[in-house]
Chain A
Amino acid sequence: MSPELPIKIVLDVASRIRKAYPEEERVEYAEKRGKDLMEAAHWMYISHMMDQNESAGVMAAHSLGEPGTQMNMRTFHYAGVANINVTQGLPRLIEIVDARRVPATPSMEIPLVSEIDGLEMDEGIARHIASEIEVTTLLDVASILTDVTNMVLIIVPDARKISEKGIEPEDIRERLNKVKAVRGNVDIDPTNGINIIARSDEPSFKKLQSMYDTIKSTKIKGIDGITRAVLSKDGAGWKIITEGSNLKEVLKVKGVDAEHVMTNSILEVADVLGIEAARNALIREAEGTLGEAGLNVDIRHIMLVADLMTNDGQVKAIGRHGISGKKSSVLARAAFEITAAHLLHAAMVGEVDHLEGVTENIIVGQPVTLGTGAVNLEYKPKRRTE
């Protein structure tokens, strides 16, 4: 069997020829040498192929695990100028193979489109979009005074802050009126038209206090989960880097270059964009983490791990709750973790171990089914003619 030459190699060769020869000569040259080049390339390609029965998995595991010993535990990396803290190094790598639902430091990278409604993107618009994304709580834009004599809370919006965030007092009132604790009791102070007054429906200090506690952290604006959004200039365009991640909602925001939005929360990618995207996210994140630490690991190893983790349509963790816990062999599962439970369950349902994997065969003392152990040699001596 001889597989086709990957198109990438053909294109690489073509682009070299294009760079070296003027347009008129290209075709002629390609016709002259093309066949020889491609044949030689194909031969080289074939000779670099991996051997059959190679234990590709173990190789990948080693290639990812061994550099792990060289990584730092506590490296934090500040994404760009924005000073957003992102977990890096070994903890991040562990997090990736664990397929944690929420990473320790979720973060998004949101490039913005260069043009919006015919307007060119500038800092003002970009800042506006950032404020659309970042969660703004009441306390961020206003101070809350407690008027004990009238049993009301007076919310005094900070004029500078609300204009910065593009919030009107009316927005705050509307938003607060949806909060259970003060529903229907919030109005704009008619005396100055800016302050907002939240009345208590029963005259108790306790109630007033609890109202204060609930409304002070009420979200006025922004997308849930995104605690900070920092603007940064990315070459010609603008980019927002966030602390916290909410891919689904961010994609809906106008002005966001949705095709290029990135999040480091892999499970979220899987939920929103599907399993193939999650696989690519896994590869990107793992490679980025290793690259950040200055370690070079062939991307094929990372691909294999990512493909295994996403094989059945869900992101499965590497470990007893994921891949290792779902192995087909009882002995392999028992040898990994939670030994007794696996054995007892196997006995109960009458499980049969077909001894196809590595661990099982080591346990019973047979050659493993990888590499040279995967093939059998049969020798038929020529019958001596008598």
Chain B
Amino acid sequence: MISEITKKIGSIKFSCVSPDEIRKMSKVEIITADTYDDEGYPISRGLMDPCMGVIEPGLRCKTCGCKVDECPGHFGHIELAMPVIHVGFIKDIKMMLESTCCSCGRLMLSAEQVQARRESMEKMEELGGGVIDLKNFSKETAKDASKGMECPYCGAKQVRIKLDKPTTFRLDTGDKAAALKSQQGVVKASASSKLTAKEVRERLERISDEDLRTLGMDPETCRPEWMVLTALAVPPVTVRPSITLDSGDRSEDDLTHKLVDVLRINQRLRENRDSGAPQLIVEDLWELLQYHVTTYFDNQTSGIPPARHRSGRPLKTLAQRLKGKEGRFRSNLSGKRVNFSARTVISPDPLLSINDVGVPIFAARELTVPLYVNAHNIEKVREIIRRGPMADRLTFPYLPGANYVIRADGRRIRVTERNAAEVAENIDIDYVVERQLMDGDVVLFNRQPSLHRMSMMAHRIRIMEGKTFRFNLCVCPPYNADFDGDEMNLHVLQSDEARAEARILMQVQENILSPRYGGPIIGAIHDHITGAYYLTHGDTRFDRFQTSNVLFKLPVKTAAQREESFPDDREHGYKADSADYSIELPEPAGSDEKGEPYWTGKQLFSIILPEDFNATFKANFCHNCRDGCQKEGCKYDAYVKIRDGELMCGTIDVRGIGNSKGKILDRIARDYGSARAAKFINQVTRLVLGALMNHGFSTGIGDEDIPEEAANQIAVHSQECIEKVAGLVESYRDGTLDAMPGRSLRETLEVKVMGTLGDARDHAGEIAEKHLGMENPAVIMAKAGARGSMLNLSQMAGCVGQQAVRGERLSRGYHGRTLPHFDRDDLGAYARGFCSNSYKSGLSPTEFFFHAMGGREGLVDTAVRTSRSGYMQRRLVSALEDLKLTSDGTVRNTIGTVIQFRYGEDGIDPARTVGGKAIDIDDLFYEVLPEDEAEKLIHPETKDKGDDYGTLEKDEMGYSDEDGDNEGEDSGIDDIEGGDD
């Protein structure tokens, strides 16, 4: 289908509207403040005059004869009885009055100065100076000009002007002595006289076009006298529609209300002036008119009370409509509402590919994709239309129907059960049919807050039962999603270009590597890690039955089957998803006593590795043995070595396949491409979950049980520490404590106490750790990097430790004490927030209170942080959004200024770096050199540093400050955060 050539807007010019233009543009002069008559028809020459467009269905616009939605609306105008200043320009008017002569209207600069100024301005423009630079320059010009006391042209003495906010100008005729007197309060400042808007306008009229250019204005687009209004444009009715309430009453728009005020006062002013009322009355009315016009433009002008609605709510006038987050710009222009989108709760589905998203039938029936009818597909399309909308077919088997047919002339026909057959017959080439979703359609999937580009990725659809969107758990980290009630949005792409772009650039598999740090952001999480640990740790054996059980969890679709599942793909000739998922069972590793063959976990894991894959690294629970690494001989099985796709030794955990840390994942994504990486993730997650299910896994509070003797040890040691603290306090009291350099005595005490108590907790943790071995499920989770940390465990089993607010021991509350349970000025451990109990043994009432204090700080911190960092990001994006890499390798902004001559000094895409390095030198050696030579050049020490990309999970963020002894918040956070999404 050939679409029309889209019109392109080249540029937009801004200008002021002259009074003449307002009158020319106007279709009707408004003279009466009334809106509707008793029958409810708009009064002619009133604010709702049908010449300005229509808002009620059925009526026709008197100007263009169109109906609602067709008529764009037309302006009207109000002839102001007396001129009124436009508030928005008040500062500019002041500037112009000050810099020009009060009698002849010339700019108060000598000809040479003007010449020099104009030349610099031209130079600036030539050198690509921005509008803002010119603005600042003209401001300076005006400032210089206003310094002169005498006009260089007519010799008139300049009169100083004072701006009485917001809109009144006063002439400062008084000499200095008078001003001084008035300051001292002897004589009141009566020396200044008011400059009326009319006089202002007359003075502005006198300024010549040339002088305006020197002041940086364009007389063609804006003469200064236009800033003093003589005619007020009345926006079309469509801009300020009135709404009919349920009760039948009409409720007018705020702008209409304001215009009514303007009209009323304008009317009275005109009458009074014409009837020769006293000057005072006319002036008062004039000022009132000024007030109404001012608030009509901006109801938040400082210095005047905002105009209010009858209910007391301030009116939303022109400036308020544009300004701020809910204003036109940010809410309707920078962000727009869209069709073809859906939103619902999300839930997990480990059986989906990372590229998929499960869409409920209910949503799929509502969302559509346009099909362009041509000679080749017309029969197929007919078939789809014949099915009708199938709105009540919400169970499987699912077949897509059609909701709308758009004829070649643009008319939309809704497809119903009744007319489906007829519509299907009548379709022709160039018709567009809106087909319901089906498996394989490309959609964008998004979760707010959209903090980075991975917050919006393209997925392939899978129609599913149920009412939630579903996706693979590995895709949680980029969206920062969990399933505690989170909702997500889905947008259906409507054009082939969009679909192609989305598939190539935005699909999940293309975003496995994060551009933030050049490592994987999508990978195994939580139970996957535990599963991988159980699968590969030591020499776990699987008999034939178990092996089959685990391997059957793998997706086994061949290329052909896979293609079939997305029928639309074949039609479009896509091949991207044709990864072959078939696997081969290796020879058994050996046979047990009974002669039954068995396979090792490492063997099973190797099945899914690429055949020529090599890697060497250390697992997360590597003990960093003091006496040097034993490598292959590691007694903890923490040294991972993979050769030719075979896991030789070591345990796979978070450092192997985890998100943000997974070495294997990192390498596969980089060296074998995104499709292979996606396949690996799909396979590995299913495999390890199979292993986990085979093994069985559970954890509970019982996992934090420690033997009584250990509990005693902990109690004894923490008692010792508490006594030590008491000793410290004592030595502080009798002055035997030596102050540390650069610290006061009290600070020294605090530091020492914190150190002692931190030691108490660490020691408790050590004891607990000693008694919680590697067979403990909670410990396995912590050490393998699946969830939780040893700190969490030691707090549960051993001792919660010192609670802190602002990095200090608790000290607030009562005079000299935290709670009335303690003596005043008690600086001991318990009195200042030390919790010697464990979460499991239960906190004492005072400890509980202190713990809540620490926890509260964490919550407040989170709340403050989100808004602050949100604003920072908005500013960053706004500042950097226009920068792009140009074809010559430079980074430039929109006006072509070079920001960087070579992006990042080497032109490398951070997403393609190897931990920030342009190329991986080890890789280079392997690629170019024979293996023995390459090995020689590679230092294993430099190679496996095991970088941590440091992505903190949502609910781990609370206690990221581990060194700050800020352990108040942890397990509690999970529960509280559970509520929000």
Contacts from A to B (Cβ < 8 Å): 1, 3, 6, 8-9, 12-13, 16-17, 19-20, 33, 36-37, 40-41, 44-45, 47-76, 82-84, 90-91, 93-94, 97, 228, 230-231, 293-301, 303-305, 307-308, 311, 318-319, 322-332, 334-336, 339-341, 343-359, 362-366, 369-372, 374
Which of B742, B888, B899 lies in contact with A228, CB distance below 8 A?
A: B742
- In angstroms, how far is the closest chain B Cβ from the Cβ of A307? 5
Q: Are A303 and B937 in touch, CB under 8 angstroms?
A: no
Which of B881, B908, B936 lies in contact with A55, CB distance below 8 A?
A: B881
Least CB separation from A44: chain B residue: B919
Which of B131, B923, B928 lies in contact with A349, CB distance below 8 A?
A: B131
Residues of B within 8 A of A346 (CB): 14, 131
Q: Give Cα distance in the complex from A16 to B329, angstroms.
A: 57
Which of A13, A298, A343, A362 lies in contact with B322, CB distance below 8 A?
A: A343
Least CB separation from A331: chain B residue: B12
Q: Give Cα distance in the complex from A17 to B92, angstroms.
A: 69
The digit string for B788-824, where 1 denotes a CB below 8 A from any CB of A, is 0000000000000000001100000000000000000
- In angstroms, how far is the closest chain A Cβ from the Cβ of B217? 6
Residues of A within 8 A of B740 (CB): 83
Q: Are B910 and A97 in touch, CB under 8 angstroms?
A: no
Q: Are B908 and A64 in touch, CB under 8 angstroms?
A: no
- In angstroms, how far is the closest chain A Cβ from the Cβ of B872? 5
Residues of B within 8 A of A301 (CB): 516, 910
The A contact surface, by secondary structure, is helix
Known: A48-B918, A334-B329. A350 touches B865 (CB 8 A): no
Among B359-367, B649-657, B946-954, which stretch is in contact with chain A? B946-954
Q: Give Cα distance in the complex from A267 to B937, angstroms.
A: 45
For the complex, is B570 an interface residue (Cβ under 8 Å from A)? no
For the complex, is B103 an interface residue (Cβ under 8 Å from A)? no
Least CB separation from B452: chain A residue: A62
* In the A-B complex, the 3 residue pairs with the closest CB atoms: A65-B873, A57-B883, A300-B904
The digit string for B79-111, where 1 denotes a CB below 8 A from any CB of A, is 000000000110010000000000000000000
Q: Give Cα distance in the complex from A33 to B11, angstroms.
A: 57
Q: Are A70 and B957 in touch, CB under 8 angstroms?
A: yes
Q: Give Cα distance in the complex from A171 to B130, angstroms.
A: 54
Which of B899, B907, B933 lies in contact with A3, CB distance below 8 A?
A: B907
Instruction: Choose among B451, B519, B924, B936 the residue with the greatest number of A CB atoms under 10 Å from its CB.
Output: B924
Q: Are A300 and B132 in touch, CB under 8 angstroms?
A: no
- In angstroms, how far is the closest chain A Cβ from the Cβ of B1? 14
Q: Are B949 and A296 in touch, CB under 8 angstroms?
A: yes
Q: Are B742 and A40 in touch, CB under 8 angstroms?
A: no
For the complex, is B337 an interface residue (Cβ under 8 Å from A)? no
Which of B8, B218, B879 lies in contact with A324, CB distance below 8 A?
A: B879
Q: Are A65 and B872 in touch, CB under 8 angstroms?
A: yes
Q: Are B907 and A49 in touch, CB under 8 angstroms?
A: yes
Least CB separation from A65: chain B residue: B873
Known: A48-B909, A57-B884, A345-B135. A74 touches B861 (CB 8 A): yes
Interface pairs (14), CB distance under 8 Å: A6-B906, A37-B924, A54-B885, A55-B881, A57-B880, A58-B453, A71-B865, A71-B869, A297-B517, A300-B910, A319-B879, A345-B92, A349-B218, A353-B11
Q: Are A303 and B905 in touch, CB under 8 angstroms?
A: yes
Which of A228, A294, A305, A371 lies in contact with B950, CB distance below 8 A?
A: A294
Least CB separation from B501: chain A residue: A372
Residues of A within 8 A of B923 (CB): 44
Q: Are A318 and B876 in touch, CB under 8 angstroms?
A: yes
- In angstroms, how far is the closest chain B Cβ from the Cβ of A18? 10
Least CB separation from A41: chain B residue: B924
Given pairs A37-B924, A374-B884, 19 additional interface contacts (CB within 8 A) = A6-B906, A9-B919, A52-B886, A59-B453, A61-B873, A65-B451, A72-B960, A72-B961, A305-B876, A307-B899, A308-B879, A319-B875, A325-B132, A340-B88, A340-B323, A350-B221, A364-B9, A364-B12, A369-B884
Q: Are A355 and B10 in touch, CB under 8 angstroms?
A: yes
Q: Are B217 and A348 in touch, CB under 8 angstroms?
A: yes
Residues of A within 8 A of B948 (CB): 294, 296
Residues of A within 8 A of B452 (CB): 62-63, 65-66
Q: Give Cα distance in the complex from A20 to B925, angstroms.
A: 13
Q: Are B928 and A37 in touch, CB under 8 angstroms?
A: yes
- In angstroms, how far is the closest chain A Cβ from the Cβ of B501? 5
- In angstroms, how far is the closest chain B Cβ from the Cβ of A305? 7
Q: Are A74 and B937 in touch, CB under 8 angstroms?
A: no
Instruction: Choose among A3, A16, A53, A300 the residue with the greatest number of B CB atoms under 10 Å from its CB.
Output: A300
Q: Give Cα distance in the complex from A66 to B900, angstroms.
A: 23
Q: Are A48 and B919 in touch, CB under 8 angstroms?
A: yes
Q: Give Cα distance in the complex from A1 to B885, angstroms.
A: 14
Residues of B within 8 A of A8 (CB): 906, 918
Q: Are A36 and B864 in touch, CB under 8 angstroms?
A: no
For the complex, is B330 an interface residue (Cβ under 8 Å from A)? yes
Among B279-287, B382-390, B890-898, which stretch is in contact with chain A? B890-898
Q: Are A69 and B329 in touch, CB under 8 angstroms?
A: no
Residues of A within 8 A of B937 (CB): 16-17, 20
Instruction: Choose among B10, B135, B908 the residue with the greatest number of A CB atoms under 10 Å from its CB.
Output: B908
Q: Give Cα distance in the complex from A1 to B907, angstroms.
A: 12
Least CB separation from A84: chain B residue: B742
Q: Give Cα distance in the complex from A64 to B875, angstroms.
A: 11
- In angstroms, how far is the closest chain B Cβ from the Cβ of A343? 7
- In angstroms, how far is the closest chain B Cβ from the Cβ of A337? 9
Q: Are A355 and B12 in touch, CB under 8 angstroms?
A: yes
Q: Give Cα distance in the complex from A69 to B873, angstroms.
A: 9
Least CB separation from B876: chain A residue: A61
Q: Are A299 and B904 in touch, CB under 8 angstroms?
A: yes
Q: Give Cα distance in the complex from A294 to B875, angstroms.
A: 23
Residues of B within 8 A of A66 (CB): 451-452, 516, 873
Q: Are B950 and A296 in touch, CB under 8 angstroms?
A: yes
The digit string for B917-943, where 1 denotes a CB below 8 A from any CB of A, is 011110111011100010011110000
Known: A62-B516, A350-B220. A340 touches B322 (CB 8 A): yes
For the complex, is B626 an interface residue (Cβ under 8 Å from A)? no
Q: Are B451 and A62 in touch, CB under 8 angstroms?
A: yes
For the complex, is B773 an interface residue (Cβ under 8 Å from A)? no
Least CB separation from B500: chain A residue: A372
Q: Are A67 and B881 in touch, CB under 8 angstroms?
A: no
Q: Are B875 and A300 in touch, CB under 8 angstroms?
A: no
For the complex, is B866 an interface residue (Cβ under 8 Å from A)? yes
For the complex, is B978 an interface residue (Cβ under 8 Å from A)? no
For the complex, is B491 an interface residue (Cβ under 8 Å from A)? no
